[in-house]
Amino acid sequence: MKARILGALRAVLTVATISAAVFVVAAPVQSARAQSRMLPDFPDLVEQVGPSVVNIRTSEKVVARAQQGGPSEEEMLDLFRRFGLPIPNIPKQAPKKSQPQQPQEEEQPKGVGSGFILSSDGLIMTNAHVVDGATEVLVTLTDKREFKAKIIGADLRSDIALVKIEATGLPAVKVGDVSKLRVGEWVMAIGSPFGLENSVTAGIVSAKLRDTGDYLPFIQTDVAINPGNSGGPLINMRGEVIGVNSQIYSRSGGYMGISFAIPMDEAVRVSDQLRSTGRVTRGRMGVQIDQVSKEVAESIGLGKSMGALVRSVEAGSPAERGGIEAGDIITKFDGRSIEKSSDLPRLVGATKPGTRSTVTVFRRGATRELSVVVAELEADKAVAAKAPAKEEKPKASLAAQTFGLVVAELSEAQKKELGIKGGVRVEAATDAAARGGLREGDVIIQVGNVDVSSVKEFDAVVGKFDKSKGMSVLFRRAEWTQYAVLKASK
C-alpha cells in the first residue's frame, strides 16, 4: 500500500515539474510575441501610405546669351604659335559688323522635393520653398506617371504650398489628429532625399510645440530628413499624416539627428485658404513684442514669467487705437493665456481681419481689458529707428546716485519726437544702471510701475524705493520699449 502511495506521489511530482518547466519556457515566448506585436509594422505602413507620396521636380527660366561666333583671327594665330605650327597665310577680310544677340530663355533644373496627395482629384501639398520661384513643376507618382502641376498657392510664412495635377482616382492620405500626438511616439517619413525617390525613414517624436518660427509651433523628431525630403509627410503608426517635413537643424547642411515638421492642423488651415482664395490672410495688431523674464515679472508684481512685453506700438495701428501702450504686458488674447511671447502672433495671426478681440494687459501693477479690432497683416515693413532730435542739453540732475543714474528733463520737442507724454532722459549710466542694461540716451518712463514725467517725480519715486530689492525700470530706446531691473551695489 505504501509503495502504491509513494508511486502516485512520484507521478504527481513529475507532472507538476514538467508543467512548471513548460510554463517557464512558454512565458518568455508569449512575452516575446507580445513585444513583437507592439513594435511598429513599417512595411504595412509603407504599402498603405507610399502610393500617396510624390516626387516633385522644379525648373526655372534663366536668360542665356548666345556666344558671339567662333574664335577671332588673332586667337587662331596665337594658337598656332603656342603649338609651334607653321603659320598659314590667312587672307585679310573686311571686319563684319557684329549683330546684337538677343537674350534667350531656357529651362534649368531648380530643385527636388516631396509632396503627398490630399484629394483623389490631384490636389497635392508640399513646402512653399520647394516650388518658390519655379516656372515649371513636375510631379512623379509611385507608378512612374508624370504630370505637369499648376501652383494653386504658396504661403512662405508657414512654408505650405498647394499644387494641382490633372488626374483622378488618386490615393489620398488620411489626416491625423495632432492633438493626440505624444512625445516618444513612433513616426515615419517618406520622401526623396537627394533625389532618391520613395525613401523611408523612421524615428520618434522628440518634442511638440517647438518654437522655431513666428507663426508655427513645430513637431521635433529624430527621423532622418535630408534635402529632397522637404514637403513629404510625417506619418503616425495608424497611417495618418500628422505633419509636413520642413526643416532640419544642421551645422553641415545634412541631417544631424534633429528635424522639424509643420503640424498638420496648421497646414490644413493654411491649405484651406490657399484652395479657396490662393492666398493666406492673417490678423495683426501693430505691436513689437519681447519675452518677459522671471526677474522682471517678479519686480513689477506680475508673479511669474508669462505674457508678451509690448516694446513699441505702431502709429495708427489697431493696438494704438485700442489703447495698448509700450510697456504693457499682454497676458491674454480673447481669453486665451499668453504663456510666452510667441503665442501672441500665432493667436492674432489666426484671427480673421475685422474681428473685435479682447486683449488683457498688465499695466502699472494692475490688469485691464482693452478692445482691439484686428487688421490684416501685410508685407513686413522695416521700421526705421528715430533718434531723439538734438536740442540744447538740459541741466542734468544727480538724483538716484545709488543706482548710478544721472537723469535730465525731456523737452517738449523731444517728447513729441518720441511720441510719449513724459519721462526722463538718461545722461549717464554706471554701476547698477550699466549692469542693468541702461545707457546714455535712454528715456525712463516708469519706475516700479509708477509713471515719471519729470526729474522731481523720478527722484521722489526712487527715494521711496527699498534699496535692498531690485528696482524695475521701464525705458525707451529709439523705437523700442523694454524693462530693466537695477540692483544697488552692497
Confidence at residue 70, expressed as pLDDT on a 0 to 100 scale: 55
Confidence at residue 483, expressed as pLDDT on a 0 to 100 scale: 87
159 is catalytic: yes
What band does 33 get if pLDDT is binned at 50, 70 and 90?
very low
Q: pLDDT tens for residues 167-180?
A: 999 999 999 999 99
- Asked whether the predicted pLDDT for residue 314 surpasses 50, the reply is yes
Domains of the chain by residue range: 174-277, 283-376, 401-486
Confidence at residue 10, expressed as pLDDT on a 0 to 100 scale: 59
According to the per-residue pLDDT averaged within each range, which of 20-24, 95-99, 258-262 is highest? Answer: 258-262
Q: What dihedral do alpha carbons 44, 47, 52, 55 form, nearest 10°?
A: 120
**Which one-letter amino acid corresponds to residue 482?**
Q
Q: Which comes out higher in pLDDT, residue 400 or 58?
A: 58
Q: pLDDT tens for residues 379-417?
A: 443 323 333 333 334 444 444 567 777 888 888 878 878
What band does 110 get if pLDDT is binned at 50, 70 and 90?
confident
Do the domains at 283-376 and 401-486 have one common CATH topology? yes
What band does 95 get if pLDDT is binned at 50, 70 and 90?
low
Give whole-number Cα distances, 226 to 107, 168, 216, 261, 262, in Å.
25, 31, 21, 13, 16
Residue 410 to residue 429: CA distance in whole angstroms: 17
Q: pLDDT tens for residues 149-161?
A: 999 999 988 899 9
Cell 487688421 -> residue: 375
Give whole-number Cα distances, 98 to 67, 77, 90, 223, 411, in Å.
12, 21, 21, 58, 69
230 is catalytic: yes
**CB atoms inside a 10 Å sphere around CB 143:** 6
**CB atoms inside a 10 Å sphere around CB 189:** 25
- Mean pLDDT over the full length of the chain: 80
What band does 86 get if pLDDT is binned at 50, 70 and 90?
low
Residues 6+ apart with CB under 8 A from 273: 153, 155, 279, 280, 281
Q: State which H helix or E strand residue 2 sits in.
A: helix 2-38
Catalytic residue among 129, 334, 431, 453: 129
One CATH from 3.40.50.970, 2.40.160.20, 2.40.10.10, 3.40.1180.10 for 174-277: 2.40.10.10
Confidence at residue 350, expressed as pLDDT on a 0 to 100 scale: 86
Contact 176, 238 (CB under 8 A): yes
Confidence at residue 435, expressed as pLDDT on a 0 to 100 scale: 81
Confidence at residue 388, expressed as pLDDT on a 0 to 100 scale: 36
According to the per-residue pLDDT averaged within each range, which of 25-39, 212-226, 375-389 is highest? Answer: 212-226
- Asked whether the predicted pLDDT for residue 24 surpasses 50, the reply is no
442 is catalytic: no
Confidence at residue 385, expressed as pLDDT on a 0 to 100 scale: 33
Q: Give the residue from 309, 300, 344, 314 showing the smallest Cα distance to 329.
A: 309
Residue 368 sits at the vertex; the CA angle it makes with 358 and 479, to the nearest 5 degrees, is 85
Beta-sheet pairing, 329-333 with 308-313: antiparallel
CATH of domain 283-376: 2.30.42.10
CATH of domain 401-486: 2.30.42.10
Q: Annotated binding residues, as ranges?
A: 129, 159, 228-230
Q: pLDDT tens for residues 465-484?
A: 776 677 888 888 877 888 88
Contact 259, 222 (CB under 8 A): yes
Catalytic residue among 159, 328, 343, 442: 159
Percentage helix, strand, coil for the chain under 3-state DSSP, each rounded to 5: 25, 35, 40
- Min mean pLDDT across 229-243, 336-350, 401-415, 437-451 is at 401-415
- Please give the biggest Cα pair distance in the chain: 137
Confidence at residue 457, expressed as pLDDT on a 0 to 100 scale: 83
Measured in degrees and rounded to the nearest 5, phi and psi for residue 53 equal: -95, 135
Catalytic residue among 230, 259, 299, 472: 230
- Give the predicted TM-score (pTM) of the model: 0.64
Contact 170, 178 (CB under 8 A): no
Q: Annotated binding residues for substrate, as ranges?
A: 129, 159, 228-230
Q: pLDDT tens for residues 418-443?
A: 778 888 888 877 777 788 888 888 89
Confidence at residue 6, expressed as pLDDT on a 0 to 100 scale: 55
- Counting residues of the chain whose pLDDT is more than 90, the rounded percentage is 38
Residues 6+ apart with CB under 8 A from 281: 273, 352, 353, 376, 377
- In Å, how far from its chain's centre is CA 241? 20
Residues 6+ apart with CB under 8 A from 436: 403, 473, 484, 485, 486, 487
Q: Give the residue from 452, 454, 489 showing the smallest Cα distance to 474.
A: 452
- Counting residues of the chain whose pLDDT is more than 70, the rounded percentage is 75
